[in-house]
Amino acid sequence: MTQKLLFLLDTDAVPSVFDTVVAYDGGADHVIGYANVTPQNVGALVDGAIYTRGPKEKQFTALFVGGGDMVAGEALFKAVRKRFFSNFRVSVMLDSNGSNTTAAAGVALLAKAKPLAGKKAIVLAGTGPVGLRAAAFLHSEGAEVAITSRTKARADAAAQALQDRFGFTPTAIEAVDNAARAAAVKGTNIVFAAGAIGVQLLEEKDWQNDPTIELIADVNAQPPLGIGGVEATDKAKERHGKIVIGALGVGGLKLKLHRACIGQLFESSDKVLDAEEIYAQAKANA
């Protein structure tokens, strides 16, 4: 029986262990990781994937673009797809730093809890891979979106990246500390925290009595959590009159989604899984 081979193309210095484990759990027979992959050096790797098996066997070879940098991941994903032609292609997925699967799971769960159209949403630490995708998915649900960063320059650059990729420009907010983020969330209905692990972005006192906040999601599972007063295990739990989803609440759907997407890569030789495709699946399974 033809082995299912997944080649992990990572933009970081070390291929992701997390992505490797989930790839095996998703059905790959072998996962081969490459580090420091760029648009300039990926050509030979793609060629090795598309030229080695016949038409009926190509579906058992797939590519996964990962790494911690969303911009680098998008550029690499584009370069990989540009290498394909005619029937010389294999299925490919983009999920830099869990950007697509984590953000898709978080926003899909928020949308399941309450309609998001017409709501004001803010993504704290919205310039990273997960934050960028969360902003895009919130916008797709009809929310009015703002993103924060510690510097205005980074917030503006992220806003431009969203305009370039998804055709909308969120409000870019400089928020250097918890006090600034507390001010930024006032008047919003949805708060999505997408910061680095172990960094608190918002204290409980700054949201618990806010009458406008309805929904909160935090994807940080390592204490201190991104939003004070949220438990990692919360899944559509009511706290202070708001519906709250913690990192493990998001993580269950994220892992289910990630594994399912890996499995789908081996169903054909022309599957392309990026933000839109992955979010559609998250919505269907939330």
> For residues 90, 165, 135 and 122, what is the CA-based torsion angle, rounded to 10 degrees?
160
**Residues 97, 70 contacting (CB under 8 angstroms):** yes
| Run of H or E residues at 144 | strand 144-149
**Residues 126, 174 contacting (CB under 8 angstroms):** no
* CATH homologous superfamily, domain 97-248: NAD(P)-binding Rossmann-like Domain (3.40.50.720)
Give the chain's mean pLDDT.
Answer: 97
Residues 3-93, CATH architecture: 3-Layer(aba) Sandwich (3.40)
Q: Rounded CA gap, 157 and 161, in Å?
A: 6
Contacting residues for 162 by C-beta, under 8 A, at least 6 apart: 132, 135, 136, 139, 147, 168, 169, 170
- Give the tens place of pLDDT for each residue, 57-83: 999 999 999 999 998 999 999 999 999
Q: Is the pLDDT of residue 11 over 90?
A: yes
Does the pTM surpass 0.85? The reply is yes
Q: Confidence class of residue 1 from pLDDT cuts 50, 70 and 90?
A: confident
Residues of the chain with CATH 3.40.50.10280: 3-93
Q: Which residue has the tokens 């409000």?
A: 171
Q: Are strands 91-94 and 272-273 parallel, antiparallel or unpaired?
A: parallel
Structure tokens belonging to residue 228:
């004070």
What SS3 class is residue 190?
strand
Residues of the chain with CATH 3.40.50.720: 97-248
Q: For position 197, what pLDDT does the model report?
A: 87
Beta-carbon neighbour count of residue 99 at 10 Å?
29
**Residues 184, 207 contacting (CB under 8 angstroms):** no
**Residues 126, 148 contacting (CB under 8 angstroms):** yes
Q: Is 97 left (phi over 0), alpha (psi -120 to 50) or beta?
A: left
- Give the tens place of pLDDT for each residue, 208-247: 999 999 999 999 999 999 999 999 999 999 999 999 999 9
Q: Is the pLDDT of residue 175 over 90?
A: yes
Q: Rounded CA gap, 151 and 153, in Å?
A: 5
Q: Is the pLDDT of residue 198 over 90?
A: no
Q: Is the pLDDT of residue 135 over 90?
A: yes
Q: Rounded CA gap, 195 and 181, in Å?
A: 12
Q: Is the pLDDT of residue 249 over 90?
A: yes
- Give the tens place of pLDDT for each residue, 255-264: 999 999 999 9
